[in-house]
Structures are given as structure tokens and as C-alpha cells.
Amino acid sequence: MAANAERKSRVRVVTGNATKAQANAGKIIVPPVQGRAYVVMGGWIRALGGKVNEATSVDICTKTTTPIVNVAVLKAAALENAVVTFDAASNVTRTTYGNDNAAGNGLQILTVGTDESTCTSVDYCVRYLTVGS
Amino acid sequence: MANTTRLSRERCVCGTATTAEVIAGKLIVPPDSAKAVIVTGGWMRATGSADTATSVDIKDTTDTPVVAVAIAVAALIDGAVVDFDAAANVTWTTYGVAHTKGKGLQILQTTAAGGLGTTTAVDYVVRYILV
């Protein structure tokens, strides 16, 4: 976001669950809309059926050829049934967080590194704003 | 629930419940026969440290209330905001998951020993969606 920029908007939220197969492949959680940019500004994830073990992290990122990471929760924090807030002091990497993604890009939940095989699925709750028409 | 996605506008209820209300249960989101509630976030803050009770919970309004999120009294120290996403002293039961359709939400203690002691009130902010 440019210096001295400000966004006032209604907070939207997407909640759900992605199986490990979906997270490994990338599951769209907010579909792309032409001309509309998304700003991720909060949320959490929770691993179910086991901890995140093989993947390096579980990311909320853009659904693009080269995904832009908004927030990455490292496997060290993604223990079974533990809610990990995106605002946690450790084991969370916030890259494009609170900043505009490119217009027209959707959001996905995606594992990074080796495909995850230990946890069975991941619950997610992502708060975001929309910018543009 | 596996492979779900719910896009929604997030709602918020905030307020204060007296100790008596927390002991008896205070309705904070009224039931809607056509909607299910999903708690997505929030926090609590006790006025006067909580003791005696086991936890202060956000529960649904079924006859045997289902816990959405429970804050152990160990964390409810006078004036301290305890986030529902905190790493300790929080139990997420039906959190981020739909409660039974037609049930509201209440703030209600869980206790094995009679109720909150020195606390006079609990502030709450609960974020939720309706589906």
C-alpha cells in the first residue's frame, strides 16, 4: 500500500475447510473478480487429523502462476487442533498482509514445500477487504 | 466439515455481562430459525479476576449448550483482554464451525464450584457469521 494510503471498507470473511489434497493443490477460497483487489487483514488456520508435518507452511496467497504470499503459517505452529492466528508473534510470516494484492487475483490456501500427508485437513478463517469495483 | 467454503459478511456483538448474567447465561445473539451461527473470533475481559468457575464460555442455546470457545479463568485476570485465538487457556470446540441451525449464542460460565467469585462483570466481543 502506498505511503499514507487508507482503506475504509466492510470486513468480509471466508471460513471453511480444505482437505490436504486440496491444500496441496491449492484451493480457491475467494474467487477472482476483474478489477477487484483483496486485502488480507486477519484470520486463523487450524490443522485437523494431525499436525502439519511434511509441508513447510500453509499459506494464504494469490491464485496466480507465481502465488504472492499474504500470510504463511509455519508447520512448527500448525499443531493438531491448535488455532493459529495470523497475528501470532512467532511462526507466522506476513508478506502481503494488510496490503493490496493485484486487482483480479483471487485467494487460495496452499501448502508450500513437500505435499502434506500427515494432517487430514485444514480449517481456515480469512478476513479481507475488497478494493475496487 | 471437509471441503467447505463460506463467504460472508462478518458480524460482531459486543457488550458487558454482569457476574449474575454470566452465571445464569446471557443471550448475546438471538436464535434465527433459518440461520446457523459460526463463531470466527473475539475476546473477553474480566473486571476483577475470575475465579471459582472453570471457564467463561461462548455457547449456543441448545438445552445442553454446545461450547463454541471457552476461556479458562486462569487467563481472565482483571482488565486483561484475552483473545479467542490466544495460544493458551483457550479451548476451541465448535469454533469456525456451524452450530445447529436455529440456535443463538450466549455467554455462560462452566463451573464445578458455584460460580464466578471476585469478578463483577465480563466484557465481550464476539465475531460471527450467519449461514
Q: Flag whether pLDDT at B113 surpasses 70.
A: no
User: DSSP state, A80?
Assistant: B
Closest CA to B68 of B81, B89, B87, B84: B84
On the question of pLDDT at B114 being above 90, the answer is no
The answer to whether the Cβ–Cβ distance between B6 and A123 falls below 8 Å is: no
- The CB density around residue A73, as the number of other CB atoms within 10 Å, is 26
Q: Which of A83, A91, A107, A120 to probe the B interface (max B CBs under 10 A)?
A: A83
Average pLDDT over residues B37-59: 91
| A100 phi, psi to nearest 5 deg | -70, 135
For residue A100, give the DSSP letter.
Answer: B
Q: Which residues of B touch A80 (CB under 8 A)?
A: none
Cβ contact, residue pair B3, A22, below 8 Å: yes
pLDDT at A133: 67
Residues of chain A with Cβ-Cβ distance to B97 below 8 Å are 123
Q: Which residues pair with B82 in a beta bridge?
A: B44
Residue A2 has pLDDT above 80, yes or no: no
The C-alpha of A48 sits at a distance from chain B's nearest C-alpha, in angstroms, of 10
Q: How far apart are CA A23 and CA A17, in angstroms?
A: 9
Determine whether B57 is exposed, middle or buried from the number of CB atoms within 10 Å of its CB (0-12, 13-18, 19+).
buried
**pLDDT at B63 exceeding the cut of 80:** yes
Q: pTM here?
A: 0.88
Residue B96 contacts residue B120 (beta carbons within 8 Å): no
Per-residue pLDDT reduced to its tens digit, A14-52: 999 999 999 999 999 999 999 999 999 999 999 999 999
ipTM: 0.80
Mean pLDDT of chain A: 94
Helix (H) or strand (E) holding B85: none
**Residue B55: per-residue pLDDT:** 93
A108 touches chain B (CB under 8 A): no
Contacts of B89 in chain A (CB under 8 A): none
Q: Does B94 touch chain A (CB under 8 A)?
A: no
B19 closest CA partner among B104, B114, B100 = B114
- Residue B1 touches chain A, beta carbons under 8 Å: yes
Whether the CB of B125 is below 8 Å from some CB of chain A: the reply is: no
Band (A9; pLDDT cuts 50, 70, 90)? confident
